[in-house]
Structure 1
Amino acid sequence: MTTLRENYDALLLDLDGTLYQGPQEIPGAREALATGTQPCYYVTNNASRSPGDVAEHLTELGFAADESTVVTSSQSAARLLAENVAPGSAVLVVGTEALADEVRNVGLRPVRSFEDAPAAVVQGHSPTTDWAILAEATLAIRAGAVWVAANLDSTLPTERGLVLGNGSMVAALRAATSREPLVAGKPAAPLMEDAMRRSGCVRPLVVGDRLDTDIEGASNVGLDSLLVLTGVSTAIDVLRAAPEQRPTYLASALDALNRPADESLVGEDSRWSVDFDGTDLVIEPTADSTEPVDSTELLRVVAVGAWKFPDFVRITSTTPAVSAVVSGWGA
């Protein structure tokens, strides 16, 4: 039996919402990755921690990781800075000291004040970001500084739920400056390109929990993707997904990596009919069955119809078990 992961030469794994929520491992994630020989690279939009700190956290949770296998948006942001300003230039850092360290690593000088005449502004998530540093960044950007955002994630998953992410802070500067930043993290290409370069892989699989970052990021660089429903994106998000945000595979959890690929492949299934009546998608089994309806299995089939007829209003069925599952999607 060929498993899903065996079709690829590396796994490019998201972290928040895919492997852990805050300090806690997502149940079963560690065991799912422990099988197989494909190298795992941890690709995160979160720019608040250094690669070493991320690797340490992963190791504490039982994942096989070291600094060389962690690729962060802060590293990609620093690369973009180095490509756009002269060596030794001052860069105003809106973010943590870990982000400032990446700026130093590419030969630039991190500062925290507009008075230091920064040639660029780099912005990454930090729980201590306040009005004062955003004001300094506003002044610099309005004066013409290059602006690089580590990512545009509007929210950040935590053990308490979703909280505002770096993208929400970027939105504040966008409103104040009428400028758009260069973006390093997913779904923009730089982070994925850096991950592929680091891994040396030819055919990697991108794995994540967000359609608007992980899956769209994979699409933007022509890679296959697996969406796991353990984090941000939900069933209704899948059904309403734009073309660039449609995953190759869909699963409820990471253990799908160790099962046959066709079990997680998004596509039509002869056991189900999906018809459009001009308003609603109508879902029915094609044969009598007493087996329970698996929500994720059905979602993989219905998604194809939803993407074909994106103007559908509701999803309906005359089969009570199907209706019960669909109602749980919020569709």
Structure 2
Amino acid sequence: MTETATTVRRTAPGGSELPLTEAYDTALLDLDGVVYAGPHAIEYAVESLDAARGSGMRLAYVTNNASRPPRVVAEHLTELGVPAEPADVINSAQAAARVLAEKLPAGSKVLVVGGLGLEEALAERGLVTVRTLAEEPLAVVQGFDASVGWPQLAEASYAVQAGLPWVASNTDVTVPTARGIAPGNGMLVAAVRAATGVEPEVAGKPLPPMHRETVLRTGAKRPLVVGDRLDTDIEGAFNGGVDSLLVFTGVTTPAQLLAAPAEHRPTYLAADLRGLLTAHAAVTAATGGGFGCGGFVAVAQDGVLRLEGDGADRWDGLRALCAAAWTALDADGEPVDGRKALAELGF
């Protein structure tokens, strides 16, 4: 039996007696930090996704990165050994384009601050890309692209100051790359916000337009969101009322997970995408107010997490620690200190 997304406030990671590939019909996978980092596949991603596909699970790739069109992303995935078609890729540019198409007449001009991904998404919705305010756009759309610099940000600022509607594909502060963590679209959006004092309408994860776009394009009945970010992937799943799997191949650390508020708590957690292929141990209540999982028992006492037991899988230890930490956080309103317990698990 697998827990469902009907839990409003999660106080412990969920358990599944079935491998997640059998419990869910569609994996909605983030890309950066989950499947690849820059030009390289993340370890275990290719073989795990091949096994998931072989089990009958549909794979869809859902990304806040608006820089590349779905066809380019699909080609990159295929080159990495993950066969994909353009229809398998859903990005925040598509969600932003749908938001704009619902506001503007067909054929309207939109000032684009971003790359080819935004241009093609707008064209799909019958909207026309322009690059300057002098071309008389009716709205502004902004998404990540490595080419965006001061001239583009200034042009967006002038347009927003002139009163044009402003839609941001996403506001991720960082983006994983092959060399490390780099500034994301959120930092570029912040520059325009600081210059204008205006807040954009955001289309990407974790907000509803992205979830709606994903559901419309995949038709998933029992989806599982898979991501590496608490504030986009996991919160997006929470907002959409669907289950989620957090993997630790991107930006989130175990320490950050222990301090997660309710909307940032995943249903499942795993080191990497191999977590799709396995059952997940359930957390149970233990004596003395603790929580047990896989031979570990975690207790929060006087603001500190304590871990006991000798389980074989350190991720079960992290599951138990999450239950103790989240329960204490909900009760006291303050995060507990889990540094020693995490160190004991090798995190």
Compute the TM-score of the two structures, normalised by the length of structure 2: 0.87
**1:315 aligned to 2:338?**
yes
Tell me if structure 2 keeps the 8 A contact 1:94–1:134: yes
Alignment of 1:25-36 (within 5 A): 25-35=41-51, 36=55
Q: Do the aligned partners of 1:13 and 1:41 also contact (CA within 8 Å) in 2?
A: yes
Alignment of 1:238-249 (within 5 A): 238-249=257-268
Match of 1:46 in 2: 65
Once the 2 structures are TM-superposed, how far is the Cα of residue 283 of structure 1 from its aligned partner? 2.1
Instruction: Write the mapping of 1:127-206 to structure 2, written as runs, cut at 5 A.
Output: 127-206=146-225
SS at 1:84's partner residue? Answer: coil
- What is the CA-CA distance between 1:5 and the residue it aligns to? 1.6
Structure 1 residues 239-318: aligned runs within 5 Å = 239-260=258-279, 262-263=280-281, 268-269=291-292, 271-285=295-309, 289=310, 294-310=313-329, 311-315=334-338
* CA distance 1:266–1:107, shift in 2 (3 Å): farther
Measure how far apart 1:316 and its partner are. Answer: 7.0
CA shift in 2, pair 1:316/1:10, >3 Å: closer
**In the TM superposition, what is the alpha-carbon distance from 1:208 to its structure 2 partner?**
0.8
Report the alpha carbon displacement of residue 30 of structure 1 after superposing the two structures with TM: 1.0
Q: 1:212 to 1:266 in 2, by over 3 A?
A: farther
* 1:213 aligned to which of 202, 216, 232: 232
Q: Does the 8 Å contact 2:318/2:342 carry over to 1? A: no
C-alpha separation in 2, matches of 1:210 and 1:147? 25
**Which structure would you say has the larger RCO, counting Cα contacts within 8 Å and 6 or more residues apart?**
2
Give the 3-state SS of the residue equivalent to 2:102 in structure 1: helix
Q: How far, CA to CA, are the matches of 1:324 and 1:134 in structure 2? A: 43
- Residue 58 of structure 1 deviates from its aligned partner by 0.3
Residue matched to 1:114? 133
Residues 8 and 205, structure 1, Cα contact 8 Å, conserved in 2: yes
- Please give the alpha-carbon distance, in whole angstroms, between the structure 2 residues aligned to 1:144 and 1:316: 48
CA distance in 2, matches of 1:10, 1:159: 27
> Does the CA contact (< 8 Å) of 2:283 and 2:292 recur in 1?
no
Q: Which residue of 1 aligns with 2:11?
A: none
* Structure 1: distance between partners of 2:158 and 2:96: 20
Structure 2: stretches of 5+ with no match in the other structure: 1-16, 285-290
Instruction: Kindly state the Cα deviation for residue 105 of structure 1 after the two structures are TM-superposed.
Output: 1.9
Find the aligned partners of 1:316 and 1:62 in 2 and give their Cα distance: 38
Per-residue deviation at 1:276?
Answer: 2.7
CA contact (8 A) 1:84 1:146 kept: no
CA distance in 1, matches of 2:283, 2:228: 15
2:159 alignment partner, SS class: helix
* Residue 244 of structure 1: how far off its partner (Å): 0.3
- Give the match's secondary structure for 2:292: coil
Measure, in 2, the Cα distance between the counterparts of 1:256 and 1:102.
32
Q: Deviations over 1:289-319 (max 9, x none)?
A: 4x65x432211110111111122442377xx
Moved more, 11-20 or 269-278: 269-278
Contact 1:266 1:303 in 2 (8 A): no
Which position in structure 2 is the counterpart of 1:71?
90
Structure 1 residue ranges without an equivalent (≥5): none
Q: Secondary structure at the match of 1:201?
A: coil
Give the C-alpha shift of residue 278 in structure 1: 2.4
Asked if the contact 2:92/2:204 (under 8 Å) is kept, the reply is yes
Matched to 1:274, the amino acid is A
Answer with 149-158 or 85-94: which moved more: 85-94
Q: Normalising by structure 1, what TM-score?
A: 0.91
Distance in structure 2 (CA, Å) of the matches to 1:266 and 1:175: 45
CA distance in 2, matches of 1:61, 1:79: 30
In 1, Cα distance between the equivalents of 2:136 and 2:66?
A: 24
Q: What is the SS of the residue equivalent to 2:148?
A: coil
Q: Does 1:3 align with 2:19?
A: yes
Please provide the CA RMSD for this pair: 1.8
Alpha-carbon distance between aligned partners in 1 of 2:121 and 2:321, rounded to the nearest angstrom: 44
- From the superposition, tell whether residues 7 and 145 of structure 1 become closer, same or farther in structure 2 (CA, over 3 Å): same
Kindly indicate whether the alpha-carbon contact (under 8 Å) linking 2:70 and 2:90 is maintained by their aligned counterparts in 1.
yes
**1:226 alignment counterpart:** 245
Change (3 A) 1:110 1:266: farther
Q: Note the alpha carbon deviations across 1:44-100, whole angstroms, 9 max, x for none.
A: 111000100000000001112101111111111110110112222211000013311
**Displacement of 1:282 after TM fit?**
2.1
CA contact (8 A) 1:228 1:252 kept: yes
- Equivalent AA in structure 1 for residue 32 of structure 2: D
| SS of structure 2 residue aligned to 1:40 | strand
Please say if 1:23 is aligned against 2:39: yes
Query: 2: CA distance between counterparts of 1:28 and 1:193?
Result: 30
Could you say what secondary structure the match of 1:162 adopts?
A: strand
